[in-house]
Chains A and B, each alone.
Chain A
Amino acid sequence: MSDNENYEAAVQSASTEVASFEEQGKGLLGHFHHALHATPSLVPLIVLLSSIVIFGIVVGSNFFSAYALTLILQQVQIVGVLAAAQTLVILTAGIDLSVGAIAVFISVIMGQFTFRYGIPAPAAVICGLAIGTGIGAISGWLVSRVKLPPFIVTLGMWQIVLAANYLYSANETIRSQDIATDAPFLHFLGRTFELGGAKLNLGVVLMVILVAVLAYCLRSTAWGRHVYAVGDDPEAAKLAGVNVNQTLMSVYMLVGFICALAGWVMIGRFGSVSPSATTGTFGNIQSITAVVIGGISLFGGRGSILGAFFGALIVGVFELGLRMAGADAQWTYLLIGALIIGAVTVDQWIRKVSA
């Protein structure tokens, strides 16, 4: 054989070292880019901290008070919990428009089960959590088995659940005093406690624990890896040995469950149970806003739940800061709108793999 034909033989003496290169002087921007690429929730964290600082300067030191900062946490607890649920669906490249409607409907169910049927409050709460999970299961079944687009399924589910909520409650509000005297357990997540001069309630604690638990599950368990894989490329995930339908089903059921938790948080937060709570109509957009500002890709498979949590807090900081600064509420929407577009722009920049 001539040398030419035997060119492959030269491979025998190939290097067996794992390649490594000296880190080039990438410059400050390069390192920053790399850090953002490795930790996607860093951007919303930076935005959150800098908006706190900016409002602190504009509004004055009042803004740094434990009171103001805990007020923000109190105000974002419902959206924060809904955003945690929304994150899961969006990671699978879906979207859930029914999150707020489920929360309101479940708050009504927990209230009415106690007051209409005389079921003990803890049992009514468990029933509500189960029904929320069941609603999620229906959406999950339609998405994974019937292969309908999540947008359509949850658009329909949003209307159905919201209408069911009005029909079932007969548009009737359960007053806060009645709950306090007859079924205080429904107010459980509204209980407050002092922590270093700050007043927190259990709903806030629930939100923080929920985000921490989900962050762990998404990062450190096989289920979490499957959620990302399904959102990234469902066909590849299926061929690689992921049970795609089961993963989607588990996500939608978990989302229903978390929305039901949000319903319970609502009772603690508002005191009363009202079928016409604005969460029913705006909860979906508010949660999607938090998720997008948090740097999670609407195309699925990328982003971290901590980002969505920071996203919810950013919205809370803007709302309170602008209110304390005496600005027109419309400024809040204007700035949030700019933030959404800005977040996606930054996301595109980070996405460049060259980092």
Chain B
Amino acid sequence: MEPILKARGLVKRYGKVTAINHSDFDLMPGEILAVIGDNGAGKSSIVKALCGAVIPDEGEVWLEGKKVNFSSPIDARDAGIETVYQTLAMSPALSIADNMFMGRELRKPGFMGKWLHQLDRPAMEKFAREKLSELGLMTIQNINQAVESLSGGQRQGVAVARAAAFGSKVIILDEPTAALGVKESRKVLELIQDVRSRGIPIILISHNMPHVFEVADRIHIHRLGRRLAIIDPKQHSMSDAVAYMTGAQVPDGVAA
């Protein structure tokens, strides 16, 4: 089976810092791929190189077998790749609905929308409310409240809802549950499985080993800017995974 999203030999340097060091990447159709690694291993950098937020210095990326050269996140989004960034990418002063539809706003039908480009606020608000409810974010009282007035976890919830609502080919989640409470984390895991059951593959970066081992089909271990190994969670323990990613132990078949 061909990977839906594939990268070979990616390199990204910031001055003297090498964030991605000749790394490969493979996401199979319909799978949940967890990416784990130490802080600073380059997990955020490599997924950003896959979704147009970082333009790699070297290397190639293929989506569904076709070579792609995303020059901005808009390109990747148009190709169906939706990302929840670690920084969330929200405009704090704007409302939840405005943020969910940023860059893909809905216009009113008829004259007002066609000629005066008027936003369809009611439709956007209704959609945003539905998506938040699906995620169990019931503590958000007002869909028009500014994102800056939400708690960190609520903000993360809104970002996840945005990606899940619009992703059509690949959804990338960079530490989506880091700031979430127990209930919201559980909802995000359910959502991830729900998205997979719709046939959409997911890249999940997380430090939460129990969650990773619960939902992942395969685990990509990232170390020192590159892919160290891919392991099957059914054949390795959590402590194996932690040992590999910290360098305490080398997985079978990997040259030390």
Q: Which A positions have Cβ atoms within 8 angstroms of B?
A: 7-8, 11, 14-21, 216, 220-223, 225-226, 228-229, 232-233, 235-243, 301-302, 353
Contacts and interface: CB of A to CB of B under 8 A. Distances in A.
Contacts of B116: 216, 220-221
Contacts of B39: none
Contact of A8 (B77, B85, B93, B182): B182
A240 B117 contact: no
Contacts of A221: 116-119
Contact of B88 (A236, A237, A243): A236
B243 interface: no
A239 B163 CA distance: 12
Interface in B58-85: 72-74, 77, 83, 85
A239 B187 CA distance: 24
27 contacts: A8-B182, A11-B182, A11-B186, A14-B136, A15-B138, A16-B133, A16-B136, A18-B140, A19-B138, A19-B140, A216-B116, A221-B119, A225-B102, A228-B91, A228-B93, A229-B91, A232-B91, A232-B92, A233-B90, A233-B92, A236-B89, A238-B53, A238-B73, A239-B89, A240-B90, A241-B73, A241-B74
A292 to B, nearest CB: 18
A141 B49 CA distance: 26
A221 B117 CA distance: 6
A302 to B, nearest CB: 5
Given A14-B136, A243-B72, 7 more contacts: A11-B182, A223-B117, A232-B91, A241-B73, A241-B104, A301-B91, A353-B148
Nearest to B103: A241
Contacts of A21: 141
A238 B76 CA distance: 12
B99 to A, nearest CB: 7
Contacts of A228: 91, 93-94
A236 B148 CA distance: 13
B125 interface: no
Nearest to B141: A19
Contact of A237 (B91, B141, B186): B91
B116 to A, nearest CB: 8
B183 A240 contact: no
Contact of B93 (A242, A243, A302): A302
Contacts of A17: 138
B240 interface: no
Contacts of B117: 220-223
B18 interface: no
B175 interface: no
Nearest to A236: B89
A220 B119 contact: yes
A225 B99 CA distance: 9
A7 B87 contact: no
Nearest to B108: A220
A-B pairs, top 6 by smallest CB distance, nearest first, are A241-B103, A239-B89, A222-B105, A229-B91, A240-B102, A232-B91
B76 to A, nearest CB: 9
